[in-house]
Amino acid sequence: MTAQRNLRSLAAFLTLCRGQPSTPNHIWQLALRQLYSIRLNHHAQTLRSETSQPATEQQALSAKDFRFAIVASGWHDSIVSRLIAGARDALEELLAAETAVEIFRVPGSFEIPLCALKAAESGKFDAVICLGVIIRGETPHFDYIAAETARGIGEASLKTGVPLLFGVITADNIDQAIDRAGEKLNNKGFEAARAAVELVNLYREVFTK
Ligand code: DLZ
């Protein structure tokens, strides 16, 4: 709407200039600058609307016939439970069978990588969705746990060739963590599960003989 209004006022201005015997150079420059800024605004608006949803949002995505493991930690259980629910919602929405999803609970996020590695190595799952909540405390503990959890999950994925999804919230405080365990794409569990489905489809499509 703003771009349209700007464009209208620029058009009115140019019409006015056309009626003048000679329009000074700097006025034309002003008009050109205005036109350029309208173009930039329009471009930014388009980019914003394109990036607000993952590209796959527009594609037909299906979790049918795939199997998923969810590895979830026990610390901050009320928030982790929301991540599990979010992941289940996404998988159900994408038509995964209830029996195609297995949940494994570990004590804390630090324990996620090994369990995820074992699940991936079992050959029973097409993807492993890792869920946890790590909240910054007053000691450097947070940094060690967060770094090791991320590193371990990434390493297990590369080692096994199975997609392992990082649905672990690392937050400065409990409110930040709750914000990331909301509805649909505001829920890291939902987001990770959708990404899992996206990946298994991609790998089956592209890398299967
Ligand atoms: C010890 C600990 C701390 C301080 N904070 C968290 C946390 O915010 N989130 C989490 O998932 N786990 C935490 N843990 C537990 C560790 O992950 C791990 O379970 C223990 O250090 C035992 O190995």
Q: Of 80, 81, 109, which is best to mutate to test ligand 1, by the most ligand atoms within 8 angstroms of its C-beta?
A: 109
Classified as helix, coil or strand, 52 is coil
The pLDDT confidence band at residue 208, using thresholds 50, 70 and 90, is: confident
Backbone angles phi, psi at 52, to 5 degrees: -70, -15
Average pLDDT estimate for 107-132: 98
The answer to whether 141 is a known catalytic residue is yes
Q: Which two tokens stand for residue 206?
A: 């592209």
pLDDT at residue 138, rounded to an integer = 80
Share of the chain above pLDDT 70, in %: 72
Grade residue 156 by pLDDT with cuts at 50, 70 and 90: very high
Model pLDDT, residue 1: 46
Q: Is the pLDDT of residue 52 over 60?
A: no
Pocket test of ligand 1: the residue of 71, 75, 112, 153 to mutate, having most ligand atoms within 8 Å of its CB, is 75
Cβ of 111 below 6 Å from ligand 1: yes
Burial (Cβ within 10 Å: 0-12, 13-18, ≥19) of residue 17:
middle
Query: pLDDT per residue over 179-203, tens digit each?
Result: 999 999 899 999 999 999 999 999 9
Residue with CA closest to ligand 1 atom 7: 134
Separation of CA 75 and ligand 1 centre (Å): 7
Is residue 37 over pLDDT 90? no
Q: pTM for this structure?
A: 0.76
Residues 9-13 have a mean pLDDT of: 66
Q: How confident is the model at residue 139 (pLDDT cuts 50, 70, 90)?
A: confident
Look over the chain and give the mean of its residue pLDDT values, rounded to a whole number. Answer: 86
CATH code linked to domain 56-207: 3.40.50.960
Give yes or no for a contact between 68 and 206, defined as CB atoms under 8 angstroms apart.
no
For residue 109, the CA-to-ligand 1 centroid distance in Å is 6
